[in-house]
Structure formats: structure tokens, C-alpha cells
A = this chain, B = another copy of it.
Amino acid sequence: MAQEMNIGLLGFGTVGTGVLQIIRDHQDKLQHQLGCSIKVKKVLVSNLHKEREIKIDDDQLTLNADDILNDPSIVAVIEVMGGIEDARRYIRQALENNKNVITANKDLMAIHGSELLELANKQGCDLFYEASVAGGIPILRALVEGLASDRISKMIGIVNGTTNYILTKMSKEGRGYEEALQEAQALGYAEADPTADVEGIDAARKISILGTLGFSMNLDLDDVSIRGITEVTREDLAFCEQLGYTMKLVGIANRFNDKVEVSVQPTLVPHEHPLASVDDEYNAVYVYGDAVGETMFYGPGAGKLPTATAVVSDLVAVLKNNRLGVNGNSVILPQFEKKLKDPDDIHAKYFLRIHAKDISGTFASLTHLFHENEVSLEKILQLPLNQGKLAEIIVVTHAVSKKNYDLVLEKLADADVVVEVKSSYRVEGDRK
């Protein structure tokens, strides 16, 4: 049996450096687990002479990906360069040359995951991507191991640290959206162009990866209905708080019978729900499995060492499989045909905030409107506004079909007594 296994690294930024560091520092333990040692044979870089925070021999560096992808002695390739097109081409080439692949690239996996997993399956190679969802949380492994003996019916994930930081500051410290965003940018939790985060796109990529794996169904980014946090106001948050809810931007993937729904939106969870106390830049994924019941995995969503740790865990699994001769068997191709729920099939509770005229009969006409569309109410809060000329009305519905709820929203916008529909959010995690 091999005494040493060669691997190659594509990319040598923060995560790549972390991976090399971990492999070096823990060589003995890794050898102990694997029965052989790991050698990082080549690292693809874009500049051979850059100052680096880690020492590496010149002949370990290369500017040419082919030195890694065409080297028959390399059994596994780690892609930590980021970006889409080059990464995709390199990973395809690695798989075509029968190399196993580990990637931390969520953008790539959300867009080209199914194509790459199919190729890996065809080639009998592993393609592992734990680090692509939430760096410090071993959630994909939990889903895959759980899947061997469970059926996942729901996942709710706080999978974007930027928006969680912003919403935490707004809820807990009364900041406005713009102010909280600037604070996040100053601390490096948000990028100069925060669009992908605050519009929910990053979270949508991750929930599509989770949904695909958890439900064994090929879910694309296009299947995710997406709403970001840019319209959330301090007032909304204060009323949520008052009614016992915390607002989080979550990705939801749920399944009933054989139909699924995948979405991202600002969502209210009860204060006592485990997701409610996931604050600041932290991530968490709540999973409901028919056998195991409720579980939740909490941890940092990003960062050099958490992400590198996830990559190295994948590497160990891939190399173990290699020595067992079972590479490719862990690639889980979607088993089921994609069936998305219609708005008729999506049932949820909603929080709805309205400014209405404070005249006799207002409330009666509103309740009539709810009632005739089969939307029943669980909580109602009415407060005077503008010296009693207007009324601030907040309701939380029972679980209703999205179709009926959307109809109510439409009719409310046209109703005489309604001045403005201020906001509307989904409610999840009520155990009653």
C-alpha cells in the first residue's frame, strides 16, 4: 500500500495557506488516521515570488495548473482559488484525469454543482464540498451520514453572516439598516458591494446546495424564491420583538410528500427557538429529520481556520475512500425528480403590518377580508397612530396557504380602509 499520498492545491490565499498549515501541523495525527502520510506536491499560484506568511519550497509552486491536473501521481486536488470559470474548467479536468476533488467554492457548486457531481460519478471520483456551505459547521457530513438512516423533511439555515450581523445590530441595538451595514463593512463582515449578501443571493446559493443534498433532488439557484433584508425597518423589528419573535434572514428548504419548497426571506422565529439566539456573524442550520427529530448545528460560517479545517476533514475522507477503493461511491446524485410546491401547497404563518384608517368598521372590514380568503388570525395588535387618525394594526396568521395569503395582500392594497401595507414576513418555528 502507498506510504505517501500526493495532493495538489489550486489557490494559495487565506484558505489555501490554512490548509497547508493544518496538514503540516497535524501530519502525525493524519498519518495515524489514514495509515499513510499526505504530501502537498504542488500548489498553483498566480505569482511565484510573492511574500507569504507560510514557508514553502520554490519547486512546490507552479503557475501552470497542468502540473497538478496532469500529474498521474496526484490523487486529490483541493480547489480554493474561488471564481467560476477557471475553477470549473480545472475541476472538470481533474475529474477527467481520475483525480478526486475537494472544493470550498459555493458560487461554483450552486451553479454547476450538478454537472460536476455527475462527472465525478461517471469517473468514479469523489467531489467533496463541505467548506462551501458554512465553514465551521460540518453540516453536509451530518446530512449525508444522517441520510443513511433518516429522512430529512425540513432545513432552516442562517447561512449568511453579513445579514445576520446587520439584523442583530438592528434588533439588539436599535440601529437603522444603513448604519448597521456600514458598521458591518467597517468590521470586514460585509463587502464594499454588499449586494449578494443583503439581497439574499449568497444564502440562496447555500440553501440550494443544502436542499439538493438533503432532499436528493436537483435544486438550482433558479428554484429558490429570494427576498433580501434591504426593506426591513427598525419599526418592524420593534413590533416583532413585542410579539415574541426575532427576525432572521433564513434559507428554508422543506418537503411534504414528494414536493419541495426552497426560499430565502427575512423570517420571524419565536424568541425561544434555537435559531433566535444565533447572533452576530454566526451561522446555524436547523434540521428536522423524521427519525432524529430536531437538531441544530451552530458555528462560525467563515474564516480561515474554520474553512481550512472543513477542507482537511474532506481531504481525510477522500483519501480514506481512496485507500478503500470506494472513491465515487460517496457522490450522491439526486435520486428524485424535482417537484416544486405550488403556492397552494406552501403553508406558513405570516406577520403582517398595516396602517389603516381609524374609523368605525375598519377592523370588521379587515376581518371579513381575511375570513373570506380563508386566512385566520392567531395574534392581533392594534395601536393608535397620528393622534388617533390612523391605526397601526399587526396580525400574525395561523398557517395558511401562500396562495390565499398573497390574495389577501393584493386585496388589502386595494381596500378602502387600508392606507398602507407596511410590511409582511413569514413566521417559522412556532411549535404550537
Contact = CB atoms under 8 A, between A and B. Distances in A.
A12 interface: no
Contacts of A25: 149
A276 B1 CA distance: 50
B33 A329 contact: yes
A322 to B, nearest CB: 10
A340 interface: no
A292 B277 contact: no
A293 B137 CA distance: 11
Binding site secondary structure of chain A: mixed
A324 interface: yes
- Count of chain copies: 2
A292 B33 contact: no
A308 B150 CA distance: 11
A47 B126 CA distance: 46
Contacts of A188: none
A146 B309 contact: yes
A295 B26 CA distance: 21
A138 B149 contact: no
A42 B308 CA distance: 43
A329 B35 contact: yes
A309 B150 contact: yes
A157 to B, nearest CB: 14
A308 B291 CA distance: 10
B323 A324 contact: yes
A303 B278 CA distance: 26
By Cβ-Cβ distance, the 3 closest A-B pairs, closest first, are: A295-B299, A291-B305, A296-B298
